[in-house]
Structure 1
Amino acid sequence: MKLPPKVRVATFNVALDRTRPGQLAAELAAGHRQPWHIARILQRVRPDIVLLNEFDHDGEGADDHHLQLFCQHYLARGEQGIDYPYRYLVPTNTGMLAPLALNGQGTPSLPTDGLGFGAFHGQYGFAVLSRFPLLVEQMRSFRHFLWQDMPGARLPHIEGKGYYGADVLQLLPLSSKNHIDLPVRLPNGRVLHLLACHPAPPIDEGPERRNSCRNHDELRLWHDYIRPEHSHYLTDDAGGTGGLNQDDDFVILGDLNADPEDGDGFREGIQALLADPRLNRDAALGRWKPASRGGFALRQTGPRTGSPKYWTHSQGLRLDYVLPSAGLQVQASGVYWPAPNKANAHLFWNKGGWPDRRASSDHRLVWLDIVL
């Protein structure tokens, strides 16, 4: 039986973050192993649209020279080469030094006093690649939306008082990197809204749980955005208000740094999002929930409740998501993670059978096919 036409949408935390500005560009020019392996994975899965988390750039997304280099000299090379004529580097808060110390003490310094954690502006940034036109002029960005402007925000507290001072809350954005609604025009003429982000990981924190709180509310931003009755308070960077229309097609995608069953953080946020009827339930929780066999080969990941079938990270967690709206029909999905004895296992495992982050990434590419 011939399947109907489809578009493959993917997210991949490529772990192309480096310790200093310009390092990734230099490694791409020199032909290092890791980006070649990342390209091999993308060529194997062949997404039509893909979000790349942790792709370093200049912070404002203006200089896309090394993104072009990655596309032209890595992704487009070889018999399986794939072309992405449309690409966008997303401006980010990471490594953008705040004018005062976020904890209220001393002189601000990076990485801890970045508006988003980072050693330089643009570290841990992200990018979008597409075979179809990206409608950048219609994009909405929530990079500057203040955390305190979210009604009922889960702001961190310690010893009965707010962790952040009033002066910090006047400048601290909710988004640790950015939240963008980037429309793409599909071959059938329909517009698909890509809701892309990469929330703060719920780690490296004290009893105030500041990163867990931020992660929770970064997820809530998209959860409110897709529900017209909850999105009235949202104001984008151009001054536009509200969220999506009820009949808009969308996909939430990214490394959300939230597992509904395991790991750190407040799980009720991701649990509520996955259960929302605005999402395609089969893709979020049912038969099209992306899966692989690779996670079953992990050893010593600690106690886990969730099945290895759905893990997307080498620590035994489901962190990466492609979540389409309820009106979109899904025909296939997956997590690209071969077991150690399968073809292309060297892209993920070392010879001892342990996950090898240096080979490609500690995350796995997650993909989903939407029927046109």
Structure 2
Amino acid sequence: MGLKTLAGAALIAALGAGAGAGPLRIATYSPDLSRDGPGLLLRDLTRTGKQADRQIAAAVQVIAETRPDILLLTDLDWDYDGRALEALVARLAEAGLDYPHRFAARPNSGMASGLDLNGDGRLNTADDAQGFGEFPGQGGIAILSRHPIGPVTDYSAYLWRDLPGNLMPDLPEDVAAIRRLSSAAHWDATVTVAGRPLHLLAMAATPPVFDGPEDLNGRRNHDELAFWLDRLPDAPFVLAGILNVDPADGDGRPQALARIMDHVTDPLPRSAGGAAARGGVNASHRGDPALDTGDWSDDRPPGNLRADYVLPRKGLKILGSGVFWPAEGPLAEAALTASAHRLVWVDLDWP
């Protein structure tokens, strides 16, 4: 239910011949390219000279340093004409990166539901959207690729109540009848590399916080990941995106992540910057700080956490992995300026 397959004209770039065979670098990155209103991201992406946006320049620098072949971007504002995405692609081209193939579709974030989803007696607030958002498309996701994309199966309209064994709390019937599972999107995007298809399972789960004792966001976060358990392709795949659950620390429910790990190889990507960030609340964490991908305040919970993942199917040969988080120097400053999240990459031996 709520399944849509997008191909052909739905792809923002036409299919063409892919680049050469492996190693194949796949990355996920949340570059904080979301703004407070529609059109503001496009404005900031096209500013030049003294008006140029420093944060955007830093995000472009991070991507240029890591040079992914396939890049899933999260927390990126979507617009109907794809102008912001095209402006970002142009900025990356100026930095020497060519992504002739890209895909984006309207996310659930900011999509009006017409109901009072959070029960506060008001309509049309950010919490009343299918996924938190002040306007349609705020905080969406997109795929950039050196290789042809398509088809893409979009599961974003799938209803939360239709997930077997779901943890959805008791909701009013009218809310349960329309409440989608995806806070942003769930896509199964086929990327053809050297003549062979690779499924990119793309998502951006809600943070398991910012709710009440009913733990709606914590339950939804768990179920957004559990969704894939019955939909893992019988073919090579990589699950990527913000999962927003740390296996050892934070407020999430890690049970679905543990079950996913039975089907994938966790390359345990590491960084020197994460390993060095041991102060404040991080000192009480149980997990390895080198694996963290989210750099939040050291003064209060949750501190730094592992939130972003690239997880290849078991059997795929992994050549390397990492989290772009230098401990010091200009590139460390660029990572800090760009986003609280760090880019995560995995190299596959492909084909």
Q: TM-score normalised by the shorter chain: which range applies?
A: 0.7 to 0.9
CA–CA separation in structure 1 for the residues paired with 2:112 and 2:103: 23
Runs (4 or more) in structure 1 with deviation over 3 Å come to: none
CA–CA separation in structure 2 for the residues paired with 1:63 and 1:42: 24
Contact 1:97 1:108 in 2 (8 A): no
Q: Which residue of 2 aligns with 1:241?
A: none
CA–CA separation in structure 2 for the residues paired with 1:102 and 1:69: 34
Report Cα offsets for 1:293-346 as digits up to 9, x if no partner: 101332324421101111111031111000011131111111010002x35122
Matched, 1:289 2:268: yes
CA–CA separation in structure 1 for the residues paired with 2:321 and 2:28: 12
Q: Which residue of 1 aligns with 2:200?
A: 194
Contact 1:93 1:114 in 2 (8 A): yes
Structure 1 SS opposite 2:258: helix
Residue identity in the other structure for 2:237: F
Q: Which residue of 2 aligns with 1:6?
A: 23
Structure 1 SS opposite 2:142: strand
Report Cα offsets for 1:129-161 as digits up to 9, x if no partner: 0000011xx2111111110011111012xxxxx
Matched, 1:369 2:347: yes
Task: Please report how far the alpha carbon of residue 105 of structure 1 lies from its aligned counterpart in structure 2 after TM superposition.
Answer: 5.0
CA–CA separation in structure 1 for the residues paired with 2:100 and 2:225: 30
CA–CA separation in structure 1 for the residues paired with 2:291 and 2:186: 25
Task: Please give the residue correspondences for 1:16-35 in structure 2 after superposition, counting only pairs within 5 Å.
Answer: 16-30=33-47, 31-35=52-56
Number of equivalent positions: 317
Q: Which residue of 2 aligns with 1:234?
A: none
Q: Which residue of 2 aligns with 1:171?
A: 178
Among candidates 33, 44, 69, match of residue 65 of structure 2: 44
Matched, 1:339 2:327: yes
Q: TM-score, normalised by structure 1?
A: 0.82
Contact 1:7 1:371 in 2 (8 A): yes
Q: Which residue of 1 aligns with 2:11?
A: none
Matched, 1:102 2:117: yes
Q: Which runs of 5+ in 2 are unaligned?
A: 1-20, 297-303
Aligned residues with identical type, % of pairs: 40
Report Cα offsets for 1:47-88 as digits up to 9, x if no partner: 000000001122xxx41112111111x21114xx11100011
Task: Please report how far the alpha carbon of residue 271 of structure 1 lies from its aligned counterpart in structure 2 after TM superposition.
Answer: 2.1
CA–CA separation in structure 1 for the residues paired with 2:120 and 2:294: 35
Q: Which residue of 1 aligns with 2:12?
A: none
Q: Which runs of 5+ in 1 are unaligned?
A: 157-161, 227-243, 349-355
Q: Which residue of 2 aligns with 1:306?
A: 287
CA–CA separation in structure 1 for the residues paired with 2:42 and 2:172: 38
CA–CA separation in structure 1 for the residues paired with 2:281 and 2:73: 25
CA–CA separation in structure 1 for the residues paired with 2:257 and 2:314: 17
Structure 1 pair 90/301, CA: closer, same or farther in 2 (3 Å)? Answer: farther
Matched, 1:66 2:73: no
Q: CA RMSD in A?
A: 1.4
Contact 2:112 2:129 in 1 (8 A): yes
Contact 1:140 1:182 in 2 (8 A): yes
Among candidates 107, 117, 125, match of residue 132 of structure 2: 117
Task: Please report how far the alpha carbon of residue 104 of structure 1 lies from its aligned counterpart in structure 2 after TM superposition.
Answer: 4.1
Residue identity in the other structure for 1:39: V
Bigger relative contact order (CA 8 A; separation at least 6): 2
Report Cα offsets for 1:186-205 as digits up to 9, x if no partner: 02x11000100001111111
